[in-house]
Every structure is written in C-alpha cells, then in structure tokens.
Amino acid sequence: MTARGPASHAGAWDTYWRGTRENAAHREGGPQEPVLAAFWASFFQTALATGNPPALLDLACGHGAVTGHALQVSPSLAPCCSDYSLSALQGLQQRYPRARCVVADAGHTPFADASFDLVVSQFGVEYAGPEAPYEAARLVATGGTLALLVHVEGGAIYRECADNRDTVMALRELNILGLAQAAFDAGFALNAGIGTPEAFKAAERAFTPAVRGLEQLLQTRGPQAAGGLLQQLYTDIAHMYRRMSAYAPEDVRNWLGGMDGELTAYIGRMQSMLDAGFSRAGMDAVAQGLSATGFSLRELSQLRVSEQAQAAAWVLVAQRR
Ligand SMILES: C[S@@+](CC[C@H](N)C(=O)[O-])C[C@H]1O[C@@H](n2cnc3c(N)ncnc32)[C@H](O)[C@@H]1O
C-alpha cells in the first residue's frame, strides 16, 4: 500500500460530488454494483431486524449509497452520515432529509467512543489511510457491529480506476486544451480583423494532431472510457469550434479552464482510489488489530461479480464484545 494523505484529494472528491447526481461512486458514474447492493440489503435485513432502531453511522458516505439500503429496510432510522466533502453531504441531505450530516475526516472523527451501534462504510474509510478502520472501530458500542466494504488492491475496481487514470493522463499529454485555446484565440483574432489567416492556419495545424490523438484514444478505449469524459470533451470542442463566431472568447476560455480543472480532479480521484486499496496482508492486519481490541471477527472475505471476476471488494464484519 502506498502512503496516503487524508486531505490530499479532498478537492477532487468535492468537485466530483458537486457535479454528479449519482448515488454510488465506486464506479465511474455507474449504478450500484448488484453484488454490493445485495450484500448491504442482506446485512441490514439482519442488523435491523429486531429491537429499537440502532444508532447508525455511514462513514465517508458520499451520496449515501449504503444509507439508502438501511433506510429501505428501516425507513424510521435517523442515520448519521459523515464525509469530508460538504457537496457530498448536501446531495445526501436532499435524498435523505432524516439523516444527520457531519463533515469530518474519516481518520479523525469528532464522535465519542462507542457512540454507534452500527458503523458502516463502503469504499470510504480506507481513503483516510491504513489506520482509519481503527478510528471506525473506536466508534462502535459494546455489542455493536462494524461493517466495511473496502477497495481491493489490484481488484476489479482498482484496475478500472488505473485504466481511467492512464487514459486521462494520455489525454493530458496531447495538450489538447492548450492547443485548442491557441486555435480559438487565432480564430477570434481573425474574426475581429486583428489576426491573419496564416496565423489561424498555423494554430489549426498545431491543434490537429491533438484532435487525432483524442480520436485514437476514443477508438482504442471506447466512448465510455474515463466515465465518458473524453467523449464529452471531443463533442464539446467540436461543437464550439464549428460555431466559433457564436461564442465570446471569454466563454471558450472559461470552458477550457473548467475542463482543465475537471481533468486534474479526475486524475486525483482515480489516484485516491488506487492509493486506498488494501492488500490481503493489510486486511489480515486490520482483522488481527480488531480482534486484539475487543472485536470478534464475523466475516473477512472478498465479493466478486462472478466466480471468474477479479474481487470487487473486501468484506469485513466485526462485532464488539
Ligand atoms: C468511492 S466514494 C464512496 C462513497 C460512498 N460510500 C459510496 O459507496 O458511494 C469515497 C468517498 O470517500 C470520501 N472521502 C475520501 N477521503 C475521505 C476522508 N479522508 N474522510 C472522509 N471522507 C473521505 C469521498 O468524499 C467520497 O465520498
């Protein structure tokens, strides 16, 4: 596992949550993987079956993919949901008005020891570093349960994130945004009567190989690569370029600048997922650490979409004695 800085990718995640309406974030804008949904449905059927509604905490909750499963089983729950992205929590609050939302780093939460009966997290606590599962465990009351789905180092989602990161880094190397800006500048100057056709042609000649490079990336990696970001970039640039005279130079500059920020945030978010993956040894160490601090291990396994598939997640369920 590589070293991780809890706050180092905060901006990248906040950018993501500000721009998405998706529920779950483990795949690039995709729906909740059925095998993960089935895990939580079954977990909450058991965990919420009896007694008073427990105090539930969903850590690094995003838009509340896990909270949603709990509320389906027990609509009267008033869950506590925590994430370091305010935008994520704003989205969650709209979805689930009953939730109490707390902005916090999952590695250093403001909650008291043993203050929740159920502490859950899906692809969440591991982002806060290798020690963060113990912070989650600290919050579990006696008799309470900790249930984590954790990224698998080298697993299915990990590979998808690595491909997506590499695709966007390859796009970055084309410098398409910088070359597009130069071509737009030359085109606007020509339209305004202060530029020359030669200067515009030269800028266009420099821009063309980057466009071809993007087309090649789209061909080899498909239109859905990197969550459709490349396809969107291609379509939008082509649209603006064809209708250049309909745009103001500052609109194009702002759009290209915004897209540059999105690419940076995207690479940061993919990298944070890669850094968060736990190896077998890492999970074994967490399981041992929990056993040594008063927990009984109920489950340590891997979830797979199919038998042949790479693991999608580590499952860790432990109960405080
Ligand atoms: C892959 S998403 C999972 C979100 C949600 N649990 C789900 O399953 O859709 C990772 C989440 O962790 C949050 N996050 C990343 N690092 C964090 C940290 N150090 N403390 C708290 N939240 C963090 C991100 O904002 C994001 O919401």
pLDDT in tens, 142-191: 999 999 999 999 999 999 999 999 999 999 999 999 999 999 999 999 99
CA of 81 to the centre of ligand 1 (A): 11
CA of 286 to the centre of ligand 1 (A): 19
Among protein residues, the one with the nearest Cα to ligand 1's atom 27 is 62
Residue 23 CA: nearest ligand 1 atom is 9
Q: What single-letter DSSP state applies at residue 196?
A: -
pLDDT at 7: 55
Instruction: Based on the fold, state whether residues 175 and 295 are members of the same structural domain.
Output: no
**Mean pLDDT for each 10-residue chunk of the chain (321 residues)?**
52 86 62 84 94 93 96 95 97 96 98 98 96 98 97 93 96 98 98 97 98 98 92 96 96 96 93 95 98 98 89 96 97
CA of 78 to the centre of ligand 1 (A): 20
Residue where a domain terminates, one of 272, 290, 306: 272
Residue where a domain terminates, one of 254, 272, 290: 272
Instruction: Based on the fold, state whether residues 20 and 146 are members of the same structural domain.
Output: yes
Instruction: Based on the fold, state whether residues 120 and 24 are members of the same structural domain.
Output: yes
The number of residues making up the chain comes to 321
Q: Is the beta carbon of 22 within 6 A of some atom in ligand 1?
A: no
Instruction: Based on the fold, state whether residues 147 and 53 are members of the same structural domain.
Output: yes
Assigned domain for 293 exists: yes
CATH number for the domain including 136?
3.40.50.150
How open is the CA angle 263-264-269, to the nearest 5 degrees? 95
pLDDT at 19: 84
Instruction: Based on the fold, state whether residues 17 and 104 are members of the same structural domain.
Output: yes
Among protein residues, the one with the nearest Cα to ligand 1's atom 8 is 122
Q: Is the beta carbon of 135 within 6 A of some atom in ligand 1?
A: no
Instruction: Based on the fold, state whether residues 36 and 133 are members of the same structural domain.
Output: yes
Instruction: Based on the fold, state whether residues 18 and 106 are members of the same structural domain.
Output: yes
- Which residue is it, tokens 């997640």? 313
> Cβ–Cβ contacts within 10 Å for residue 188, how many?
19
Q: Is the beta carbon of 107 within 6 A of some atom in ligand 1?
A: yes
Q: Is the beta carbon of 12 within 6 A of some atom in ligand 1?
A: no
Instruction: Based on the fold, state whether residues 146 and 289 are members of the same structural domain.
Output: yes
CA of 60 to the centre of ligand 1 (A): 4
Q: Is the beta carbon of 84 within 6 A of some atom in ligand 1?
A: yes
pLDDT at 5: 44
Instruction: Based on the fold, state whether residues 169 and 286 are members of the same structural domain.
Output: no
**What torsion, rounded to 10 degrees, do the Cα atoms 285, 286, 291, 296 define?**
-130
Q: Is the beta carbon of 26 within 6 A of some atom in ligand 1?
A: yes
Among protein residues, the one with the nearest Cα to ligand 1's atom 15 is 127
Domain count along the chain = 2
Assigned domain for 3 exists: no
Residue where a domain terminates, one of 235, 250, 272: 272
What residues make up the domain containing 288? 10-154+277-320
Residue 106 CA: nearest ligand 1 atom is 20
Give the β-pairing of 116-122 and 295-304: unpaired
Among protein residues, the one with the nearest Cα to ligand 1's atom 16 is 127
Instruction: Based on the fold, state whether residues 22 and 119 are members of the same structural domain.
Output: yes
Instruction: Based on the fold, state whether residues 90 and 169 are members of the same structural domain.
Output: no
Q: Is the beta carbon of 65 within 6 A of some atom in ligand 1?
A: yes
Assigned domain for 99 exists: yes
Strands of 116-122's sheet in order across: 100-103, 80-83, 56-59, 116-122, 140-150, 311-320, 295-304
Residue 13 CA: nearest ligand 1 atom is 25
pLDDT at 250: 97
Instruction: Based on the fold, state whether residues 144 and 283 are members of the same structural domain.
Output: yes
Assigned domain for 257 exists: yes
CA atoms within 13 A on the CB side of 269: 26
Q: Is the beta carbon of 91 within 6 A of some atom in ligand 1?
A: no
Among protein residues, the one with the nearest Cα to ligand 1's atom 26 is 62
